Amino acid sequence: MSVVIKSPDELERMRQSGRINAEVRAVLHDAVRPGVTGLELDAIARREIAARGAEPTFPGYAPGGRPPYPGAICFSVNEELVHGIPGDRVLREGDIVSIDLGVTYRGFVSDAAFTVAVGGASSRAEHLMRTTEAALESGIHAARAGARIGDIAHAIGSCANGYGIIAEYGGHGVGRKMHEEPHVPNRGLPGRGLRLKPGMVLALEPMFCSGRPATKELADRWTVVMEDGGLSAHFEETVAITDDEPEVFTRIA
């Protein structure tokens, strides 16, 4: 099960983790420009996280016999969908890049991502990004006590507007660890799946693509790319179910 926030102290730590995540993502967002590399942005992320008394969650993460993840961020350019490893690849005008960041603060993990154009994007890429972002908003809106995981999945999937929905990856419980139960698919049937309760924390992360929604993993065992080389976009926030409106931890209010 996902972490369930049980005390004001736990809520405060989760909020702090999310706020740090938001602040560091804002710095990274500003640093994206032609000529910059993933490794340079990774160094900025490490410095900004440390300066706030937190730790990057991703380094050393090694699920299911994978090599330990080397980065503090995931850096996925154009046809790369998610989990791209920051390296020497230089961003160029017109690229779109997804940057995913995990922050651990006093035992609480926040996970969030955005996709942004480098310089100007084509109107096609821009439309794909705005559609994916709107789907995240719709998923957040559906994340309410009494609703079910399938309601979130349906809310996200209904926003795809003809884009491909990646089925192999999705959102997840988060909080004490980066990946907790339940899995949150990006398409599904309303009324199905686990019922949402106040205090549950979920990372919602729609991923849409312009071509066929088939992916493959590269030999590094991490980078996931679109099989047809098409564009993809990815947005993620860490959200709590409450008695009232969902609380988005990874956004600066």
Q: Within 10 Å of residue 245's Cβ, how many Cβ atoms?
A: 10
Among 10, 48, 111, 133, binds Co ion (CB under 5 A): 111
SS3 100: strand
**CB-wise, 42 or 205, nearer to ligand MF3?**
205
61 lines the binding site for ligand MF3 (CB under 6 A): yes
H helix count then E strand count, the chain: 4, 15
Per DSSP, helices labelled H in the chain are: 8-31, 38-51, 123-142, 149-157
Q: How far is the CB of 102 from Co ion (least distance, A)?
A: 8
DSSP label of 243 = S
| Per-residue contact string for residues 190-219; x = within reach of ligand MF3 by CB under 6 A | ---------------x--------------
58 lines the binding site for ligand MF3 (CB under 6 A): yes
Pairing of strands 108-117, 73-77: unpaired
Look at the alpha carbons of 139, 143, 144, 147 in this order and tell me if their dihedral is positive or negative: positive
114 lines the binding site for ligand MF3 (CB under 6 A): no
Q: How far is the CB of 32 from ligand MF3 (least distance, A)?
A: 18
Q: Report how far residue 99's alpha carbon sits from residue 71's, in angstroms, rounded to the nearest whole number.
A: 11
99 lines the binding site for Co ion (CB under 5 A): no
Which listed option, Co ion, ligand MF3, none, makes contact with residue 58 (CB within 5 to 8 Å by class)? ligand MF3
Q: How far is the CB of 218 from ligand MF3 (least distance, A)?
A: 13
Residue numbers at the binding site for ligand MF3 (CB under 6 A): 58, 61, 69, 74, 83, 100, 102, 111, 113, 172, 205, 236
